[in-house]
Chains A and B, each alone.
Chain A
Amino acid sequence: MYAPLITKPGSSLERKTGSWRTNLRPKFLQKDCIACRLCYLICPEGCISGKEKNTFISDYNYCKGCGLCAGVCPKDDIEMVPEGETK
């Protein structure tokens, strides 16, 4: 008997690990963004995407809430907000 033990490359996308996030998640304010892409580069999960100014977002299916994006943002355009805040 076999369980799903073997997988094709890229399987990490199938494992949605965002539920491991603790109490804060990044909120992309999309006001003063200059599209420097530092948040995209520093994200250890590789789950930040965006191209133009004020278009960057984090995929909460994978984001662990480490806060590096908020820390690196030169324009303070990313805020760490408590989980559950919708505004």
Chain B
Amino acid sequence: MKEFLEGSRTVARTVRLCRPGVIAAYPITPQTHIVEDLAQMVADGELDSQFINVESEHSAASVVLGAVAAGVRAFSATSSQGLLLMAEVIFNIAGMRLPLVIVNANRAVSAPINIWNDHQDSVTVRDAGILQFYAENNQEVADLVLLAYRVGEDPKISLPALVCMDGYILTHGHEVVDIPEQKQVDKFLPEFQPVVKLDPENPETMGYLGTPEIYMETRYALQETMLEALEVITSASQEFERIFGRALPPFYEAYKLEDAERAIVAMGSVAGTIKEVVDEMRQEGQKVGLLKLITYRPFPADALYEALENVPEIAVLEKAISMGAFGPVYTDLKASFQGKEAAPKISGFVIGLGGRDVSKDSIRRVFEELRGPQTPAKFMDVKTELVTA
């Protein structure tokens, strides 16, 4: 049913449809509305779930780890510092192969303290073995939560997933969203069948000592499984369309890319602004396009290569940077094209950190910059006069 809802409420309503048995979270701006809503649903008897209050995100992540280890579907949500505090536990959740979904309201990382949007928090945990999806709008957040459970709980995969939504821009933005029927969700997401679970009748140990004789195999298995997840994401996205009647592209959305001479690659809500600029520039006769990256981990390198190989000039627009190097997506994309014949010119741009507004003018200037020399990590809209040597 179509409703006009806040992004956070959209997530809470979708999570309710997923029937998690345990929810644990710690409040943090701009995520708080999500778990506030879920707590209310549990208190009102609308959701048969245990809502466990904790004293930190480290504990929240540990509680959902334990819940999934006991064979129960679980959910958490966080943001920024909270996600970083969860980071240690997230590596454990992935290493123990426990599927669960965490929604991250993307927010900048301290210092200086900043509660506004960028992607530095989630890209910082990219190496943990957690699937990562980025949403452009609130409908996509809801759909990705469903997809994330489905893919993560697939017995071939059994991995956690992080669904990323831009803080404030999506969490506090109101949009019309199509909330699916319970019976549709039940069909797409049957009861959780854990690959392994803790059971007093049949005692097992998870996450035990991995000596040099076996540790490397556990990491190899994680890497291979991440790559296998690319296929599972593809089939899950087809099943999604069959059940819910709307498309959810598995890895990326191509927008006016077929004949594009210049294209931007970006993740998250900024894709909406870029689409508007693409439309305007197309009207002026400029062949520009967009590739909106949805699946960041696993990185769909082959699919991106095929989608972009005929675009001569590409800008990777990122709300994050690996300090002292480049933007993380830029690095991955460059690696995907390394050694290929007639590879496109790929430039990296850092934009919109800590909630700095990304205007249509900024996007247009990125397209114009592409005409110039290749740049690895150019900060856009930065007031260098405020920075002293």
Contact = CB atoms under 8 A, between A and B. Distances in A.
Given A1-B224, A2-B97, A6-B196, A11 B208 contact: yes
A21 to B, nearest CB: 15
Interface in A1-29: 1-9, 11-12, 15, 17
B209 interface: yes
A7 B205 contact: yes
Given A1-B228, A2-B97, A7 B221 contact: no
B97 A5 contact: yes
Contacts of B217: 3-4
Nearest to B198: A6
A6 B95 CA distance: 11
Interface in B206-232: 206-209, 211, 214, 217-218, 220-221, 224-225, 228
Most buried by B among A1, A7, A12: A1
Contact of A17 (B195, B205, B211, B225): B211
A9 B208 CA distance: 10
Contacts of B218: 3-5
Interface in B145-204: 158, 195-196, 203-204
A70 B217 CA distance: 38
Nearest to B219: A3
Given A7-B204, A8-B203, A9-B203, A2 B221 contact: yes
Interface in B246-305: none
A7 B158 CA distance: 17
B65 to A, nearest CB: 14
Nearest to B196: A6
A8 B198 CA distance: 11
B96 interface: yes
A12 B204 contact: no
Contacts of A4: 214, 217-218
B204 A8 contact: yes
Contact of A15 (B95, B203, B209): B209
B94 to A, nearest CB: 11
Nearest to B158: A2
Interface residues of B, number: 22
Main secondary structure of the interface of A (DSSP, over half): loop
A1 B97 CA distance: 10
A27 to B, nearest CB: 26
A13 to B, nearest CB: 11
Contacts of A12: 208-209
Contacts of B228: 1
A7 B202 CA distance: 11
B211 A15 contact: yes
Contact of B205 (A2, A3, A8): A8
A4 B205 CA distance: 11
B155 to A, nearest CB: 10
Given A1-B225, A15-B211, A17-B211, A6 B220 contact: no
A3 B214 contact: yes
A19 to B, nearest CB: 10
Interface in A44-72: none
A9 B200 CA distance: 11
B68 to A, nearest CB: 13
A12 B217 CA distance: 18
A4 B95 CA distance: 11
B211 A1 contact: no
A77 to B, nearest CB: 32
Contacts of B195: 2
A6 B196 CA distance: 8
Given A11-B208, A15-B211, A17-B211, A5 B203 contact: no
Interface of B: 95-97, 158, 195-196, 203-209, 211, 214, 217-218, 220-221, 224-225, 228
29 contacts: A1-B221, A1-B224, A1-B225, A2-B97, A2-B158, A2-B195, A2-B225, A3-B214, A3-B218, A3-B220, A3-B221, A4-B214, A4-B217, A5-B97, A5-B207, A5-B218, A5-B221, A6-B196, A6-B204, A7-B204, A7-B205, A8-B203, A8-B204, A8-B205, A9-B205, A11-B205, A11-B209, A12-B209, A15-B211
List 5 A-B pairs, minimum CB-CB distance, nearest first.
A3-B221, A3-B218, A3-B217, A1-B224, A1-B221
